[in-house]
Structure 1
Amino acid sequence: MFKGFTRFLQSPSGRLKSLFEPQESPSGPMVPQVIPRDEHPVSRQHFSEAALKVLYRLDSAGFGAYLVGGCIRDALLGKMPKDFDVATNATPEQVRDLFRNSRLIGRRFRIVHVRFGREVIEVTTFRGKPSDDHGNHIAHQSENGLLLRDNVWGDIQEDAIRRDFTINALYYNIADFSIHDFAGGVHDIETRTLRLIGDPATRYREDPVRMLRAVRFAAKLDFHIAADSEAPIHELAPLLLQIPPARLFDEVLKLFMAGHGLTTFRLLSHYGLFAMLFPEAEEAMVDLPWAEPLIEQALQNTDKRIAEGRPVTPAFLLAAFLWAPVVQRLAELENSGMPPIPALQAAAQQVISRQLHHTSIPKRFGMPMRDIWELQQRLPLRRGKRAFQTREHPRFRAAYDLLLLREQAGELEPGLGDWWTAFQQGDEHEQRRLLQKVGGDPASQGSGQRKRRRRRKPRPTQDS
């Protein structure tokens, strides 16, 4: 955290309490602690030009304009924010009228996306209490408390109370550059505490995805979850089964593709949440001792690639997560007499069909995932030209990486992975030597098939 801000936080204890602990006014509503510009380190230099354009245009039109949430949290933690969310008292329609480069999205939560080239600034209208009825804008909840639709407009105080975590209820006012802290978020940032606003069980029932967000932020920020905020998670984890699979897949990408996948996986497993996302993988980890080490090593490798700025694909992680269930079903089908190749195809289909009830898998990831699995049967087959053909497969590298993980986790005896490593790195002479070791030198076997003699066309006769 910035040195100046640290000194500010180390002010006398009485001042610290008055600044950062949320206060109740005599009439009841939460009163924000306003931190003036000269007492916090957040500067407009932390914000993108696009975010500032949105703020200034809303302000000049007479609306309130605040940066809110993660961008303020990250700036206070000494990080450069990447995403910028704006909160305002302007309705979505009023925001759309101000920006020609905007569009309304969402039904459950109506928001406005303002696009500047590749950058999108998300603008939300202050939300009110779910039980309020403001004109035609009503919040709808299920019997279990799940918010089905929430387009109730309110004021900034109501909006802050509706935020999920205290560290996300921080508002930067473009009018005077002050920070409004409604729930003690600055203090929780200093103590690295993740705390829900309001009654945790109620907030999780309103939106069970908040349990996943709690884990994601704890892993990303290296925060601990407050005791009262983590207490209901084990009991309420099954509420995630109410969430549409498409939304949960988006959450899976956020959980595992941000560079903190291994820590995230361990926290999800600890709170019983991983079983709600990947139930068959969870079951396989009980029966197969190598299943969990394989997943952990896959996540560790992915985290390393992200840290190095190298490309990653969800297809590989999904293949690793679900490989153990495929192996179990494959064994059952082969034991029933089905040949290996159709058995693998059937096992893959069964595993995917069950998984789709929990998280969707778009085709752009599902097809490569299947290829990675099917190549596990081809990698041991290296006679003739098969090794060269396998190496040229578009998914070979990912399949090879999964093979190495299988060996590291103890599913397979080491050896095949080393052979493929040497084959990729070797020159033509070394490749021939490796093929001879497995009896597959294409030079001695030709193409593995008899060369067909070319038929000559009969010469035309004079009569033809």
Structure 2
Amino acid sequence: MPLPIGIATIISNATSPFPLRVIPRDQHTLSRKDISANALRVLYRLREAGFGAYLVGGAVRDLLVGGRPKDFDVATDATPEQVRQLFRNCRLIGRRFRLAHVVFGREIIEVATFRANSDDGSGDREMENGMLVRDNVYGTIEDDAVRRDFTCNALYYAIEDFSVRDYVGGFDDVLARRMKLIGDPEQRYREDPVRMLRAVRLAAKLDFDIEPATAAPIPRLAGLLDEAAPARLFEEVLKLFLSGHGVASFEGLERHGLLPALFPESAAALKSNRSGALRRFVIEGVRSTDARVANDEPVSPAFLFAVLLWPAFCRTLIALQRQGVAPEEAQRRAADRVTLHQLNTVALPRRFSLPMQEIWLLQARFASRQRKRVFRTLAHPRFRAAFDFLVLRQTASSDHAADVAFWQEMQGEMGAGQEDDVLLEGGGEEAAPRRRRRRRRSSTAAGE
């Protein structure tokens, strides 16, 4: 039976340390018109079949602060098998967490059954070598709420009366734009160290502050990220920096002592760079990525990592050159060494690490004005990315202004189809292109 609407309803329950708070429709801003039509179909079908059905998590949170969710997740007391029986367009996925995906063309509505932490033996929980490989222990909505990570992610929108159900105090935290962990922060971080990155990422995305008790253990526990799978950290880095809030994410990582845990060599280089030029470069590079995301332009993980690891490359290159290694060899060694060391923390796939290295190695070729080398550089498949990288370097140091101007002119010449008319003088860095007239070949010379 629907709960009465009119004033916020407080109902005590034994499962959660918080009383249930029901926020009626006239006391929140979430509206059905902002919810995916397919998510509404799923909610109504489940309700009609006699199951509880709630929009949950990030979609509720984002809608309450005026955002536009990309995904709409549903929580229910129906089991995955029961959900599949209701929807012909449903498939079940996952081994550790059994989920139902209801597919509407390109949109997928993820439907999760309420889960509990404790297992009375009736659930489907399996351990292998001390690791939890299957965790499908179902419970009540109260159980489901308290096992989530942050209070702002534990809000449930009830389709039967359009209210928001709050079991952990998340509604007030959302209104206050506050990130707060459910439970003891240190214990929750030790359970899953990646939660520290999620705290920074969500705070950056939502423009929330991390509650002091939630933030306090992070610098001390940052080293726990060494225990996280490098492949998982790669995915987290992409979420941090390719979702349109990269600058805020970078500053959050710095502020909470997480940057050395993710990018140890770059963090060390930034700390030792007294002029601040390297940090200005990284910030400008991440800001340009944010702008591309905002304009719906493509973004490249290879370019992103080239920016984030450039301080490490520069520091390593200088160290090798001081050891007497020849410039070109030092560049190759520095690129390989930085990439190899970074793989110990973040699993950077070769399809991204190799283009990243090419972007770095092309930087030295921008000082050349020799004709053949210029045309080879212009024809390189990474030229455009490498040139954009050079432009970013100019934002941190005016030393690269002449190179940027030269290569901009050369691209104009190539674009006009006049590359055969360009004669490049060898020698100094400031050598400029000079035109020559084409000689008309005689009939004899032409072999006519």
Q: TM-score over 0.5 for the alignment?
A: yes
Does the 8 Å contact 2:100/2:111 carry over to 1?
yes
Match of 2:351 in 1: 364
Work out whether residues 134 and 153 of structure 1, in 8 Å CA contact, stay in contact via their aligned partners in 2.
no
Write the distance in 2 (CA, Å) between the matches of 1:43 and 1:134.
40
Q: Which residue of 2 aligns with 1:407?
A: 394
1:261 Cα deviation (Å)?
Answer: 0.8
Q: Give the whole-Å Cα distance in 2 for the aligned partners of 1:42 and 1:429.
A: 59
Between 1:90-99 and 1:200-209, the stretch displaced more is 90-99
Q: Is the counterpart of residue 208 in structure 1 residue 196 in structure 2?
A: no
Instruction: Confirm or deny that 1:93 pairs with 2:55.
Output: no
TM-score (ref. length: structure 1): 0.82
Task: Report the secondary structure of 1:423's partner residue.
Answer: helix
Q: Indicate which of 188, 199, 205 corresponds to 1:220.
A: 205
Counterpart AA for 1:377: A
Q: Give the secondary-structure state (helix, strand or coil) at the position aligned to 2:401.
A: coil
> Residues 260 and 332 from structure 1, CA distance in 2 versus in 1: closer, same or farther, beyond 3 angstroms?
same
Match of 2:220 in 1: 235
The answer as to whether partners of 1:111 and 1:123 remain within 8 angstroms in 2 is yes
Q: Give CA deviations for 1:5-52 in whole Å, capped at 9, x if unaligned.
A: xxxxxx9xxx8xx76xx8754787643211233443322211112212
Counterparts in 2 of 1:76 and 1:209: CA distance versus 1, 3 Å: same
Whether contact under 8 Å (1:90, 1:125) holds in the other structure is: yes
Deviation, structure 1 residue 128: 0.7
Partner secondary structure for residue 344 of structure 2: coil
Matched, 1:118 2:106: yes
Moved more, 260-269 or 72-81: 72-81
Structure 2, unpaired ranges of 5+: 1-5, 440-448
Q: Which residue of 2 aligns with 1:52?
A: 40
> Aligned equivalents of 1:113 and 1:434: distance in 2?
62
Partner of 1:317: 304
Q: Distance in 1 between matches of 2:322 and 2:438?
A: 34
- The separation in 2 between residues aligned to 1:134 and 1:220, in whole angstroms, is 40
Match of 2:410 among 399, 402, 423: 423
Query: Structure 2: how far apart are the matches of 1:96 and 1:352?
Result: 45
The structure-2 alpha-carbon separation of the partners of 1:294 and 1:148, relative to structure 1 and needing over 3 Å to count, comes to: farther
Counterpart of 1:305 in structure 2 is: 292
1:3 alignment counterpart: none
Q: Give the Cα–Cα distance (whole angstroms) in 2 for the partners of residues 337 and 414 of structure 1.
A: 28
Give the Å deviation of 1:62: 2.7
Distance 1:45 1:318 in 2: 39
Question: 1:299 offset after TM fit, Å?
Answer: 0.9
Whether 2:256 is the aligned partner of 1:271: answer yes
Partner residue of 2:384 out of 394, 397, 415: 397
After superposition, the C-alpha distances for 1:173-219 in whole angstroms (9 at most, x for unaligned) are: 22332211112222112222111111111111121111111111111
Shift of the alpha carbon at 1:412?
4.5
**Distance apart, 1:148 and its partner CA:** 6.9
Q: Contact 2:421–2:438 at 8 Å: present in 1 too? A: no
The SS at the match of 1:379 is: helix
Q: Distance in 1 between matches of 2:128 and 2:365?
A: 51
Pair 1:438-2:426 in alignment? no
Q: Deviations over 1:262-314 (max 9, x none)?
A: 11101111111111111111111122343222111111111122223322212
Alpha-carbon distance in 2 for matches of 1:375, 1:97 = 57
Query: Which residue of 2 is the match for residue 180 of structure 1?
Result: 165
Identity of aligned residues (%): 50
Q: Using a 3 Å threshold, how does the CA distance of structure 1 residues 31 and 49 change in structure 2: closer, same or farther?
A: same
Indicate the RMSD between aligned Cα atoms, in angstroms: 3.2
* TM norm structure 2: 0.85
- Encode CA deviations 1:110-151: one digit per residue, 9 max, x unaligned: 33333222212222221112x4344253386999xx977643
Match of 2:445 in 1: none
Task: Using the TM superposition, name which of 211-220 and 76-85 deviates more.
Answer: 76-85
Distance 2:407 2:262 in 1: 33
Distance of 1:248 and 1:342 partners within structure 2: 31
Equivalent of 1:327, from 296, 301, 314? 314
1:40-189 equivalent positions in 2, closer than 5 A: 40-129=28-117, 131-138=118-125, 150-189=135-174
Query: Which region of structure 1 is more displaced relative to structure 2, 231-240 or 421-430?
Result: 421-430
Q: Which amino acid aligns with 2:209?
A: H
Offset at residue 86 of structure 1 (A): 0.9
Could you tell me how far apart the structure 1 residues matched to 2:350 and 2:205 are? 28
Shift of 1:226: 1.1
- Quote the Cα distance in structure 1 between the aligned partners of 2:243 and 2:110: 20
Give the CA deviation at 1:440: 6.0
Per-residue displacement from partner, 1:373-392 (whole Å, max 9, x unpaired)? 12112222231143233223
User: Following the alignment from structure 1 to structure 2, what is the Cα–Cα distance between the partners of residues 274 and 95?
Assistant: 42
Taking a change above 3 Å as real, the CA distance of residues 108 and 28 of structure 1, as seen in their structure-2 partners, is closer
Separation in 2 of the partners of 1:172 and 1:394? 50
Gaps of 5+ in 1: 1-10, 447-464
Kindly indicate whether residue 229 of structure 2 is the aligned counterpart of residue 244 of structure 1.
Answer: yes
SS in 2 for 1:198: coil
SS of 1:175's equivalent? coil
Which stretch shifts more, 361-370 or 310-319? 361-370
Deviation at 1:254, TM superposition (A): 0.9
SS in 2 for 1:415: helix
User: 2:431 is aligned with what amino acid?
Assistant: V
Match of 1:293 in 2: 280
Q: C-alpha separation between the residues in 2 aligned to 1:27 and 1:222?
A: 31
Please tell me whether residue 373 in structure 1 is matched to residue 360 in structure 2: yes
Shift of 1:435: 4.0
| Alpha-carbon distance change, 59 to 26 in structure 1, aligned in 2, over 3 angstroms | closer
Q: Is the 8 A contact 2:222 2:261 kept in 1?
A: yes
Q: Distance in 1 between matches of 2:210 and 2:87?
A: 39
Compared with structure 1, are the counterparts of its residues 114 and 355 closer, same or farther at alpha carbon in structure 2 (3 Å cutoff)?
farther
Supply the distance in 2 between the matched residues of 1:355 and 1:27 (Cα, whole angstroms): 44
- The whole-number CA distance in structure 2 between the counterparts of 1:325 and 1:28 is 47
Task: Check 1:286–1:226 CA distance in 2 against 1; reply closer, same or farther (3 A cut).
Answer: same
**2:348 is equivalent to residue 355 of structure 1:** no
